Amino acid sequence: MHTQFTADDARRWALLTRAAFAARRAEIDALNVYPVPDGDTGTNLYLTLDGALDQVIEIHTRLGTLGTASLVAECTALSRAVLLSARGNSGVILSQIIRGIAQVVIEGDHEAIDASTLARCLERGADLARRAVARPQAGTMLTIADAAAGAAATAAAAGQSLPEVADALVRAATEALRHTPEQLPALAAAGVVDAGGAGCVLMLEALRRVLTGDWSADADGLLGGGSGRREEWHRGDLVVPAGLYVADLPGTVAETTTGGPAYEVMFLLEESGEEKVSALTTTLDRLGDSLVVSGGPDVWNVHVHVDDVGAAIEAGIDAGRPRRIQVTNLALQVDRRRAHQAVGVVACAAGPGIGAILADAGAVVVPSAPGGRASAGQLLDAARATGAHAVLVLPNDKDTLLAAQATVTAAAHLGIGAHVIPTRTAVQGLAAMAVHDPSASVQDNIVAMTGAARATRHGAVTVATKEALTMGGHCVPGDVLGVVDGDIVIVGSDLTQVAAEVLRRLLGAGGELVTLLLGADAPPHLADALGTGLRREAQGVEVSVLDGGQAAYPLLIGVE
């Protein structure tokens, strides 16, 4: 039983956490609906820690302290590295938690830490993370870190041992995670727990495994393999909404179509020798098949197919220092390869012209406009109509985002991996559709299409139907309203003049391509007038004029 947490324990914790992030990043990505439903939380957590550990290894290799550095030296190197490698919101919060833990170790010059010091480490980490966020929100990764720190402090104050403290903090973190949908409406609407919080629980569970030595077959849920328990990332009827096939939902075990082991594990092994590698080969041969161990004497390349990922990684840690750990779900890999030629798209259209453009690009189109927006049922029917195993949903309207997210949840129960591309306007939808590649992977399409949508600044011109106070001033029925990035910022009387001002504001940050999407009520001279102004004021900008046919908005504008 551990009575102190040493430098060796710290190294093992870091490696195991990285392996857990690698194994379950897709599942965490699928949970990602808050603060932005861009499906990259798991990927950001993994890349943050992976990049940091690579930097730490490089530092210790240069100094000749690889595998022998003190706890203070390891914390010093990791604290800076994780800050430099942080990616996305979740990665920054993770870096702050780690930095807080490291600060307590460094300030106390600890060569090892006991239960009470571990509690202080977690408290500092949770505090730094919370202080790094301008507007902390309950129900996020911060809530999980706070719950774990509080439980650790209580257990340590009661005189409990390190393993007992670890058990207590994981129980508290897991319980806090289950309650996150009660704290964030976006999570409740999508039927998921918080993605960053799920990643935090994985990190803490890795700590518990290191301190308790619990590697039994019925406790291998951390890495997602084997026949044992896995952490449940749902609450009652709340389930993971996107990107997961039925065989990979929490609480089940994925199986390959060949009947062999479910996971491929690959890593480089350093700080080992012939005898340790021989023992590792024997262990992995017993755990799985397709085993290849090559290289030496300094670096070994290990490849194996197993059901029990946790046992495989633990065997690698026992044999030396595994790095560049990669874990692949073979069943999902096979399914995704089969679906590469069948990545379907469902797209909402506010007008017949928009619909025709999207349909010509290969989308199944669902009419959706103010007063008659698409329902989750209509979107689900369209997803099934694509005949694809993987479907990308383009709501093309901010008020249809929740229906699109609900569609993802329902589609998962039908074995369809659906993903929302967060397009908030028709012009963003057209930009995303322009880079869609049916022959590419789902993930590649998500990255490309989401990037294209986000790179498209958008504006619109409409006519007020009621009196209101806007960011652009007071308006009455009949006034012409200019919209920039979703906000009414101009109130005028002449449609062409307001449209020209919207264009000027959108082009203020630069741009190479302007898309003018004409509505059903657009004046016939509007496009020519705007084109003349653009040629005079923004030379070199390409202009594309399309007949959208949408109601309510005589003009929609996109700038890329």
Model confidence band, residue 39 (pLDDT cutoffs 50, 70, 90): low
User: Where in the chain are the domains?
Assistant: 7-245, 254-331, 340-454, 457-559
pLDDT at 172 over 80: yes
Choose which CATH entry (3.40.140.10, 3.30.930.10, 3.40.50.510, 3.40.50.2300) describes domain 340-454: 3.40.50.510
Helices 426-434 and 442-454, packing angle to 10 deg: 140
Looking at 81-154, which runs of residues are DSSP E strands?
none
- In terms of average pLDDT, the best of 61-65, 115-119, 468-472, 529-533 is 115-119
Tell me which fold the domain 7-245 belongs to: 1.25.40
Summarised one tens digit per residue, pLDDT across range 393-447 is: 999 998 888 888 888 888 876 667 889 999 999 999 999 998 988 778 888 889 9
Fold held by 457-559? Hypothetical Protein Tm841; Chain: A;domain 3 (3.30.1180)
> Cβ atoms within 10 A of the Cβ of 143, count?
25
Average predicted confidence (pLDDT) for the chain? 81
Please write the tens of the pLDDT for every residue from 226-276: 333 334 443 333 332 222 222 222 322 233 333 567 787 877 788 888 888
Neighbours of 270 (CB within 10 A): 16
Average pLDDT (100-107) is: 94
Work out the pLDDT band at 224, boundaries 50, 70, 90.
Answer: low
At 284 the three-state DSSP class reads helix
Provide the pLDDT confidence category of residue 292 given band limits of 50, 70 and 90. Answer: low
Tally of CA atoms within 13 A in the half-sphere of 25 that contains its CB: 24
| Domain 254-331: CATH class, spelled out | alpha beta
pTM exceeding the 0.75 threshold for the entire prediction? no
- pLDDT recorded at residue 346: 94
pLDDT at 293 over 80: no
Which has the closest alpha carbon to 410: 393, 398, 426?
Answer: 393
24: nearest Cα among 328, 467, 385, 241: 328
Most confident range (mean pLDDT) of 22-26, 110-114, 340-344, 379-383 is 110-114
Average pLDDT over every residue of 523-529: 86
Q: What pLDDT score was predicted for residue 60?
A: 87
CB contact at 8 A, 170 and 205: yes
In angstroms, the CA 290 to CA 288 distance is 7
3-state secondary structure of 329: strand
pLDDT at 81: 84
Radius of gyration of the chain (CA): 27
Please identify which residue in the block is written with the tokens 């009827």: 237
